[in-house]
């Protein structure tokens, strides 16, 4: 056996542990009885420590060093690069901290659920403080040049820095605020009341499965369940799990499913021969999000998409009034500052992200104490969105991320929004009349293009390399700003200044 093969065997051990952790997390968010959380915390903590220890073990490090001489293909070199990057990160962090973070995450998830349900931030604050403290330690172990945020955000988006995110947000903040203002001033807010009701859960399940299947998510290699907070996970290119949720707003399930199916199709698109290796999966969270947002927004909130599916939707939900395509299209694209990020429209969405980014930076640096988070949050919502949450459940307790210690993650959502339009621009150039394809339910060419350009590359290239190879340039907010401006000027009949 070559060193390379021995290394792959060690990595398979790590992969098995990580897959078990993935399943434990999936189960905790879908089916686990709440009393199971204490055991789950212990089990997940231990397995994450074992995964870490197996990965950073001297034997793995030696094999990694020696395997470099064995690599004979581009794929093998890429695998070694990915593993080396992870080794550089993980060897800096003690296994005990990894166990502590995972274990606390499983407990904190339950604390967060309770706190949100009872609108009791104070009860969650001590746990959250501990979690931010662990993240701060993690960042110090990892090290950084400019800002503590850099150490953490690089874990989710290779090469990202606070400075880079600042620049990204600066480039879109004013145009977005202006667009929101113009929309508000237009006074032509669409009526979307017909989308609210007591919708049958099994009808929502069936319809969302139809949609996910239609766009190309392969249910032979995956499934959909429900969770309080929709997510996508998986432990094999042949076993990808989507989740959605059924609420009074019919769009929750529909766009939740299309969003997660976007993540899922990206995961399912890795080459079979890379399954269970570090080359499979999405290259970064920003690129991942570009795909979920593509299928949710660019495809799923387009008029052509619904010219195909509105009749089916009406057949499935007889209580829906006889709205026409235009009315429906305007309704699902209503722009309005609201409280909940995951239900925000395309235009205001990034403003929600900015609030979280600022919160994270302020807490990490110590400028903001965790106990003062609600006030800070509420004042930022007033500043960016012109609304103040009536309570913390709809305010700073709404997201799952911080309970899991996912700090540095939020800006990738905005990157995904921006990148989705940048990639779509190239897809349009290659495929031409995509609207006709969507209107006829023919998503195969669209999925095929994305598979070829993005999905089948897995984690082989650095995110920046992939972006350049697909779009010819680095992250560029222009296509996004042009795209949403044109879309919403049309929907709201805004007069375009000449």
Per-position x/- string for 231-260, each x denoting binding to a second copy as judged by CB under 8 A, each - no binding: ----xx-xx---------------------
Q: Which is nearer to a second copy, 40 or 460 (CB)?
A: 40
Query: Shortest gap between Cβ of 99 and a second copy (angstroms)?
Result: 10
Binding to a second copy, residues 48-77 (CB under 8 A): 50
Binding-residue total with a second copy (CB under 8 A): 36
Q: Which is nearer to a second copy, 222 or 416 (CB)?
A: 222
DSSP state of 402: G
- Our finding on whether 209 is near a second copy (CB under 8 A) is no
How many angstroms separate the CA atoms of 266 and 218, rounded?
A: 11
Q: Rounded to whole angstroms, what are the CA distances from 51 to 14, 26, 144?
A: 5, 18, 25
Select the residue interacting with a second copy from 27, 248, 367, 372 (CB under 8 A): 27
Whether the Cβ atoms of residue 138 and residue 97 lie closer than 8 Å to each other: yes
How many angstroms separate the CA atoms of 493 and 185, rounded?
A: 11
Could you tell me which residues come within 8 angstroms of residue 339 by beta carbon, excluding any fewer than 6 positions away?
381, 387, 389, 394, 395, 398
Tokens found for residue 269: 């698109």
- Our finding on whether 220 is near a second copy (CB under 8 A) is yes
Bridge partners of 232, per DSSP, are 242
- Catalytic, 99? Answer no
Residues in the chain, overall count:
498
Binding to a second copy, residues 381-420 (CB under 8 A): none
- Our finding on whether 292 is near a second copy (CB under 8 A) is no
Beta strand 232-236 with 222-226 is unpaired
- Our finding on whether 275 is near a second copy (CB under 8 A) is yes
Helix axes 95-118, 121-142, angle to 10 degrees: 160
Query: Shortest gap between Cβ of 23 and a second copy (angstroms)?
Result: 6
The order of strands in the sheet holding 239-244 is 222-226, 239-244, 232-236
Q: Which is nearer to a second copy, 122 or 201 (CB)?
A: 201
Tokens found for residue 485: 């401006």
How many angstroms separate the CA atoms of 88 and 93, rounded?
A: 10
Contact region with a second copy (CB under 8 A), list: 45-53, 85-93, 385-393, 397-405: 45-53
- Residue written as tokens 């212990």? 42
Q: Which is nearer to a second copy, 110 or 138 (CB)?
A: 110
- Our finding on whether 200 is near a second copy (CB under 8 A) is no
- Our finding on whether 43 is near a second copy (CB under 8 A) is yes
- Our finding on whether 425 is near a second copy (CB under 8 A) is no
Positions marked active-site? 260
Residues near a second copy, by CB under 8 A: 12-13, 15-17, 19-20, 23-24, 27, 31-36, 38-40, 42-43, 46-47, 50, 219-223, 225, 235-236, 238-239, 275-276
């Amino acid at each position: 056996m070559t060193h390379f093969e021995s290394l792959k065997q060690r990595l398979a051990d790590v992969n098995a542990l990580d897959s078990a952790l993935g399943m434990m997390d999936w189960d905790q968010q879908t089916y686990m009885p709440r009393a199971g959380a204490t055991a789950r915390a212990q089990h997940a903590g231990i397995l994450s420590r074992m995964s870490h220890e197996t990965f950073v073990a001297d034997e793995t490090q030696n094999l990694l060093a020696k395997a470099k001489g064995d690599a004979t293909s581009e794929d093998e070199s890429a695998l070694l690069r990915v593993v080396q990057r992870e080794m550089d990160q993980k060897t800096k962090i003690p296994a005990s901290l990894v166990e502590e973070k995972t274990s606390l995450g499983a407990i904190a998830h339950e604390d967060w659920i309770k706190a949100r349900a009872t609108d009791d931030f104070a009860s969650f604050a001590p746990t959250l403080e501990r979690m931010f403290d662990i993240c701060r330690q993690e960042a110090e172990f990892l090290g950084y040049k400019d800002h503590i945020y850099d150490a953490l955000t690089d874990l989710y988006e290779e090469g990202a820095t606070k400075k880079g995110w600042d620049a990204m947000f600066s480039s879109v903040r004013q145009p977005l605020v202006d667009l929101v203002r113009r929309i508000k001033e237009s006074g032509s807010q669409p009526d979307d009341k017909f989308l609210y009701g007591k919708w049958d859960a099994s009808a929502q399940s069936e319809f969302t499965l139809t949609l996910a299947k239609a766009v190309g998510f392969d249910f032979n290699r995956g499934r959909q369940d429900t969770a309080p907070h929709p997510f996508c996970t998986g432990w094999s290119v042949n076993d990808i799990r989507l989740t959605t949720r059924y609420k009074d707003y019919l769009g929750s399930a529909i766009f939740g499913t299309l969003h997660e199916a976007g993540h899922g199709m990206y995961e399912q698109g890795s080459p079979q021969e890379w399954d269970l290796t570090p080359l499979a999966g999405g290259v970064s969270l920003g690129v991942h999000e570009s795909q979920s947002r593509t299928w949710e927004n660019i495809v799923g909130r387009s008029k052509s998409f619904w010219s195909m599916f509105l009749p089916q939707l009406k057949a499935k939900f007889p209580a829906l009034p006889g709205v026409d395509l235009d009315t429906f299209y305007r309704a699902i694209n209503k722009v309005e500052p609201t409280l909940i990020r995951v239900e925000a429209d395309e235009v205001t969405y990034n403003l929600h992200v900015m609030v979280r980014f600022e919160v994270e930076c302020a807490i990490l640096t110590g400028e903001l104490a965790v106990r003062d988070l609600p006030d800070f949050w509420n004042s930022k919502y007033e500043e960016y969105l012109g609304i103040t949450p009536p309570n913390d459940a709809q305010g700073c307790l709404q997201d799952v991320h911080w309970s899991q210690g996912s700090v540095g993650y939020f800006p990738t959502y905005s990157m995904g929004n921006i990148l989705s339009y940048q990639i779509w621009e190239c897809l349009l150039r290659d495929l031409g009349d995509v609207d006709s394809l969507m209107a006829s339910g023919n998503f195969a060419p669209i999925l095929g293009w994305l598979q070829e350009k993005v999905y089948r590359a897995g984690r082989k290239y650095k995110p920046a390399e992939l972006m350049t190879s697909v779009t010819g340039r680095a992250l560029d907010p222009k296509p996004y700003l042009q795209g949403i401006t044109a879309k919403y000027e049309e929907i709201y009949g805004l007069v375009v200044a000449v």
